[in-house]
Amino acid sequence: MKVAILGAGVSGLSSARFLLQNQIRDVHVFEAENRVGGMARSFEWHGFNCDLAPHRFFTENAETLKEITSLVPMRRVRRQSSIFVGGRWIQDPVNAAEVVVKFFPGRSFSIVWHYLFRRQRPEDNFEQMVLNKFGKGLHEFFFRPYSEKLFGIPADQISPVWGRKKIRVGGLRDMIMRKTRLYFREFYYPRKGGYGSICDRLYEDVRDNVRLNTRIVNVRPDPATGGYVCRFEHGGTTSEETFDVIVSSLPITQMATYLGVPLTLKFRPAKIVYLLIDRERVTENHWFYFADDHISINRVAEFRHFAGASLPAGRTVICCEITQTERFSIERTINELATAGVIRKDEVLDSRVEEMPFAYPVYHLDYEEQMQKVREMEALHPRIHHVGRNARFVHRDLDELYEDARQAVQRIIAPAQEPASAADPR
Ligand SMILES: Cc1cc2nc3c(=O)[nH]c(=O)nc-3n(C[C@H](O)[C@H](O)[C@H](O)COP(=O)(O)OP(=O)(O)OC[C@H]3O[C@@H](n4cnc5c(N)ncnc54)[C@H](O)[C@@H]3O)c2cc1C
């Protein structure tokens, strides 16, 4: 069985590794860039290992935890994160009780009043879901501005599917009790090399099977073999090769275009702005959010707190995640941080920007309808396995993608292991 893996992010690399572990040797990973890791990569800058926005490892799957921590030595870190909203710092995740106390009396009355007298309506969209659970006060204070900033569409145009994924609490009471996965207190982080060291380690085991600087530009069915022809560009030339099975971590919209299925799904890009600050640390947080919509920054991470290793003294690197790219400039980012009192403008020694063109799948109202089209496309092409955050169009973290890759490989090898289907390349 000859397998093409499209993309060498965590999904592609772990799929390749699982295939090799299962004695499937004819595995070819195509990666457009000159490096692996995709959105979970790291780079060194001014002596700090920098990730693309805050990345931390958390899983409820004991097997995944054991495997990843045995591959990459990690330290357990006690989470420290906050939210800057309405000119004040509050806990992250939002603790409704704290908000009521800190914003007493103005905001507090609105939050409690709207919570007590909220009217239940059908949860047709994200906004209505939040209104049903928390009421208008908390929605206007936190949920609406942050979600609109993240997705770039009004809250009543966001699918309730996203709300169900992200707001894994039943309402104000659960929020105060602080149950569920959202409230993890500790996370794991590589002892050295940043979050990207996980992909770097996976790469070590599959290196011979990876073709860097090789961009897939088309995929089409091959009626003669029942497989697929991949067309790719490398060093200015275009070539084609036929495969029995494809594991794709490309954005689903890209693969759907190749297969002639028009989708209206959209991704929200992000700019990640790195600032070298002439100070030992800016806050004690691993990351903190800006919830207000007049601030274009979503989140800030400070890498010093993740690493726990010896780092340059007297300086620190922070990174700001910005999805309102239409409002973006480095000056604006620095001004916003200075206005919030996080840094002084004259402390910024250097800056750098990284692009994430496919940072967030946008859960638009037509999400479920579009995903139905995706499922129909998958049914027509059972030899193409979609793994990964953008291939599955879901907000998923590394631990979940690792698990998805394991399952995809199980599906690929299952028929091959059955004697009756020995002639079937799947
Ligand atoms: C802001 C942000 C914060 C996050 N925080 C966390 C966190 O705290 N913890 C966590 O575990 N996860 C986090 N994640 C999620 C995590 O980064 C992603 O889920 C993961 O990196 C996705 O891996 P992937 O392999 O599915 O896709 P990608 O990383 O996107 O990899 C796809 C690869 O395919 C390549 N490619 C694309 N097109 C082509 C082509 N045509 N031909 C060849 N190659 C191509 C790309 O270059 C890339 O290397 C976060 C994500 C974001 C955006």
Residue 93 — pLDDT band, cuts 50, 70, 90?
Answer: confident
Q: Is pLDDT above 60 for 425?
A: no
Q: Cβ(29) to ligand 1 under 6 A?
A: no
Parallel, antiparallel, or unpaired for β 3-6 and 245-248?
Answer: parallel
393-410: pLDDT as tens digits: 999 999 999 999 999 999
The answer to whether the bond into 221 is cis (omega within 30° of 0) is no
Q: How far apart are CA 48 and CA 73, in angstroms?
A: 18
CB-based contacts of 241: which residues, under 8 Å, 6+ apart? 4, 28, 229, 230, 232
Mean pLDDT of 20-47: 97
Parallel, antiparallel, or unpaired for β 267-277 and 245-248?
Answer: unpaired
Q: Give the per-residue pLDDT at 426.
A: 29
Lowest-confidence pick of 67-81, 130-144, 286-300, 381-395: 130-144
Q: Cβ(274) to ligand 1 under 6 A?
A: no
Q: Cβ(190) to ligand 1 under 6 A?
A: no
Mean pLDDT of 227-252: 98
Beta strands in 95-224 (DSSP E): 186-190, 210-211, 214-222
* Best residue for ligand 1 mutational test, from 389, 394, 407 (most atoms within 8 Å of Cβ): 389
The ligand 1 atom nearest the CA atom of 391 = 26
Mean pLDDT of 80-95: 89
**Hey, what domains does the chain have and what are their CATH numbers?**
3-40+195-265+364-421 (3.50.50.60), 94-177 (1.10.3110), 267-361 (3.90.660.10)
Q: How far is the CA of 11 from the centre of ligand 1 (A)?
A: 8
Q: Cβ(249) to ligand 1 under 6 A?
A: yes
Q: Is pLDDT above 60 for 418?
A: no
Percent above pLDDT 90 for the chain: 81
The ligand 1 atom nearest the CA atom of 389 = 26
Q: Cβ(13) to ligand 1 under 6 A?
A: no
User: Do 80 and 187 touch, CB atoms closer than 8 A?
Assistant: no
Q: Cβ(348) to ligand 1 under 6 A?
A: no
Mean pLDDT of 109-118: 89
190-218: pLDDT as tens digits: 999 999 999 999 999 999 999 999 999 99
Nearest CA to ligand 1 atom 5: 55
User: Do 65 and 59 touch, CB atoms closer than 8 A?
Assistant: yes
**In terms of Cα–Cα distance, which of 180, 336, 326 is closest to 318?**
336
Q: How far is the CA of 373 from the centre of ligand 1 (A)?
A: 23
Q: Give the per-residue pLDDT at 348.
A: 98
Q: How far apart are CA 273 and CA 330, in angstroms?
A: 7
Is pLDDT larger for residue 166 or for residue 21?
21
User: Do 188 and 69 touch, CB atoms closer than 8 A?
Assistant: yes
Provide the mean pLDDT of the chain. Answer: 92
Q: What is the pTM of this model?
A: 0.93
Please report which helix (H) or strand (E) contains residue 287, including its range.
strand 287-290
